[in-house]
Structure 1
Amino acid sequence: MTGSRSPSSGALKAISFRLILLLGAVSLCGSLVSNGARSVTGPYLDLLGASAAVVGLVAGLGEFVGYALRFATGVYVDQSRHYWTMALIGYGLLIAIPLLALVGSWEAAALLIILERVGKAIRTPARDTMLSHATTAVGRGWGFGVHKALDQIGAIIGPITLAAAVYLTGGYGQGFLILGVPLVFLFITLFAARTAVPKPRRLEASSAPPAPGSTAGEIPDLLPYATFIFLGMAGFANFPLISYHLKAEAILPDAGIPLLYALAMVVSVIVALATGKIYDRFGVRTLIIIPVISTLISILAFASGAGSVFAGALIWGSGIGIYETVIRATIADVTAIDRRGQAYGILNAVFGTAWFTGSVVMGVLYEISVIHIVAYVLFVEILAVIAYIWMCRMQQGFNRAA
């Protein structure tokens, strides 16, 4: 990418896919570090003297900040085009995880946990914008699917790595320090990616014209997509609530719950790859599966039978693989290249706000009855289908105008 001539189609695809694999390897290492730590932050905060309310607040605030700040960082990415700088700063804040080994109070630990989420808010719009450029030549869905699959492999390995470290060393601190090792590999890979493709934007500029169905819309055109994402995610249950149900109803032994989570993550890897290919063939229509997935989870995952809950948890894993793959690919297809980072920032903020809101609502409803959760999810997902129809009609209007 350093020469003045544009690369051939085959060379462009090779360069683009290399960048996707390198950024996927970076995300694998980052997910290993962050998810490894997150698997034990609750008991670690408890060990340091935090109450259950504090643990919940820190987790919820960290996730909300991690999504809400993405609007501002997305705008900055579009204006500055400092993709690699933002990625380096964002991934650099993962140093907060090994530093957890050195703190002596829950207040300091909470600050580091939230700081790591701030890092995710900084790096994600830049990373996704670079991926959107790279996926132009190889297929939006396939490119994002490959990246998501690699990211989820890290999410599987991380908790297992930390559990083994804690088991062998007898303490959380040593486990956090061990997570510094994949952090080193992360930066080696990140610098390799920057060296290989210093200007990722040129990958899209050098590509063929936009694929059929691409609207290259401006920010106001995102309203139907934002509405659909908000309603779809507001009805998507989180795994902590599902695991609470498993424990409260004695459906699985304690040791079986993390194994079920790991299995759900394996499913998410497979589904992310398959969904990417399906999206490249059917485009935005693929999004209709999201309300269906959310509804099935509410019906099955909160049932009383082990078989139903097991199926619900696996469908939940499928949802994780589908959501980010399809939504990120769709954003790349419906936004102008100069607004890509801002669009990712806006819709990631919507995504996080909706999931946080829905999680709170479902947690409250669970205390009343599971039927109330199912009724709530059915209501919001019917609204999501209406938003989907609105979104498709707007897409058709853009296509006719084009």
Structure 2
Amino acid sequence: MYLTDRSAPAQTDTEHGRRRAPGRKVAPVVFVLGTVSLITDISSEMVTAVLPLYLVTTLAFTPLAFGTLDGVYNGVSALVQLTGGHIADRVRNHKLMAGLGYGLSALCKPLLLLASSIATLGTVLALDRTGKGLRTAPRDAMISLSTPSEKQGRAFGVHRAMDTTGAMLGPLAAFLILRAAADGYDAVFGVSACVAGLGVLVLVLFVPARGQVTRTNEAGNKPSDEAGSANSSPPVRIRDALALLRLPRLRALAGCAALLGLTTVSDAFVYLLLQRRAGIADEWFPLLPLGTAAVFLLLAVPVGALADRVGRRVVFFTGHMGLLTAYALLLWAPATPALPFLVLALHGMFYAATDGVLPAALADIVPEQLRATGLAIVGTSQALARFCCSLSFGAAWTLWGDSAALAGSAVGLLCCAAVAGIVLRPKDPTSTTDTAGTTETTDTTATTPQGSG
């Protein structure tokens, strides 16, 4: 099984030719969705940048309480992703489901002004993550369906780079607001709500409507035989979605994503640990995510293109080794001025090598009419694992201290990466490797779920 395996459901020669046609490098819809994500991430990261410090210092939350909330922040979206992905495939309207998700998250931002207890904060964050869960798989499906197989890594890299531009501007905006406003946290939450509304507006006005997000041919036009395919295929049923679990490579990717997610410490904890190790003042804390985002922005597109050429498995595991190195620096490196820069650089490299590479690897595994569902299955497994990691890491920090908790995560990540490397290693002696460094197999008999068309 391969993270880079590009075998897919049986295709006609015409469709195969469309996938191999040079065409434009990145479809216009990728840039539009990237703009929506950029604006939305400015809003989200303004909150994310100040929330750990706000909860721990202003509301005096313990690490365990914060870990619970952070787990909710990640776990709820996991529970909703499958629903959002399946409904988007069933109604064949990815834009509608993505819009509902973005809209719900935007409505939650002003509610943070009213939340002051763990119960109310947990409810608001759960609703916000519900919106994220609804929108993630349909959005990524629109990107995947508009891009040829051999350019998936580049397309997701472009989107993630634009998304990360917002993630970079969000903490900077929060930092400036905190310095300028008398009641800084409330001002951050209020401005965040306004920006989120703008992102929804761009989605509604500029993302192509239902049925218009399709792959283009060499001339840049939608092929005539594909134009009516979405309407002619039978409705997607629940058993079709469940049949995806019979795909060995999908199960392998979902299992490995979950395994590695169990030892992936959340960003908020990484920034809190870095602040403690490096002695960073509270006023500079909101800028820490800026460092991760800057590196992610610089590397997202070239790393995505590299994954298309040399293999997504290699890039994926290299990113996790970078994260493991960041853990080691937080545990044992002296508190020098270079420490924050090194840790944040490795943290950003980890996201550049994994965040877009994983969904790109699914393009040749999941049939087009079930693309959002397949993306949701892998995303759900990863998010649920990170939910468990947040809870366990917060509990370990409370019971044994931050160093013991991080050391346990580092050892666990090393072991999980070794297991995942074995599961995803090339096994099929009949496979052939193309010039792009990816692998194709000739056996496609088990790749199309029954009834999926």
Give the shorter-chain TM-score range. 0.7 to 0.9
Structure 2 counterparts to residues 378-393 of structure 1, below 5 A: 378-389=414-425
Distance 1:283 1:375, change over 3 A: closer
| 1:17-73: CA deviation from partner (whole Å, max 9, x where unpaired) | 211000000001111111111222345456885733444322211211112321122
Structure number having the greater helix percentage: 1
Structure 2 counterparts to residues 2-401 of structure 1, below 5 A: 13=23, 17-45=27-55, 51-52=61-62, 53-100=64-111, 102-103=113-114, 105-106=116-117, 107-136=119-148, 139-171=151-183, 172-194=185-207, 196=208, 198-203=210-215, 206=222, 218-221=244-247, 222-255=250-283, 257-285=285-313, 286-305=315-334, 306=336, 307=338, 310-362=341-393, 364=396, 366-368=402-404, 371-389=407-425, 399-401=441-443
* Identical aligned residues as a percent: 21
Q: Deviation of residue 191 (structure 1)?
A: 2.0
Q: C-alpha distance in 2, partners of 1:357/1:293? A: 22
Q: C-alpha distance in 2, partners of 1:327/1:191? A: 27
Aligned length: 387
| 1:302-323: CA deviation from partner (whole Å, max 9, x where unpaired) | 3232345642331111111221
| 1:311-343: CA deviation from partner (whole Å, max 9, x where unpaired) | 233111111122111001111222111221111
RCO higher in 1 or 2 (8 Å CA, sep ≥ 6)? Answer: 2
CA contact (8 A) 1:16 1:203 kept: no
Match of 2:238 in 1: none
In structure 2, the gaps of 5 or more residues are 1-14, 226-242, 433-438, 445-453
Q: C-alpha distance in 2, partners of 1:245/1:338? A: 43
Q: C-alpha distance in 2, partners of 1:248/1:102? A: 28
| One-letter identity of the residue aligned with 1:399 | T
Q: Deviation of residue 108 (structure 1)?
A: 3.5
CA contact (8 A) 2:317 2:417 kept: no
| One-letter identity of the residue aligned with 1:113 | L
Q: C-alpha distance in 2, partners of 1:104/1:236? A: 28
Distance 1:110 1:394, change over 3 A: farther
Paired residue secondary structure (2:120): helix
In structure 1, the gaps of 5 or more residues are 1-5, 210-216
Paired residue secondary structure (1:179): helix
Paired residue secondary structure (2:332): coil
CA contact (8 A) 2:92 2:211 kept: no
CA contact (8 A) 1:74 1:342 kept: yes
Q: C-alpha distance in 2, partners of 1:121/1:394? A: 39
Q: C-alpha distance in 2, partners of 1:358/1:112? A: 21
Q: Deviation of residue 112 (structure 1)?
A: 1.9
| One-letter identity of the residue aligned with 1:63 | N
CA contact (8 A) 1:218 1:336 kept: no
Instruction: Give the TM-score normalised by structure 1.
Output: 0.84
Q: C-alpha distance in 1, partners of 2:159/2:83? A: 24
Instruction: Give the TM-score normalised by structure 2.
Output: 0.75
Q: Deviation of residue 101 (structure 1)?
A: 5.7
Distance 1:101 1:229, change over 3 A: closer
Q: C-alpha distance in 2, partners of 1:201/1:230? A: 30
Q: Deviation of residue 284 (structure 1)?
A: 3.5
Answer with 375-384 or 44-53: which moved more. Answer: 44-53
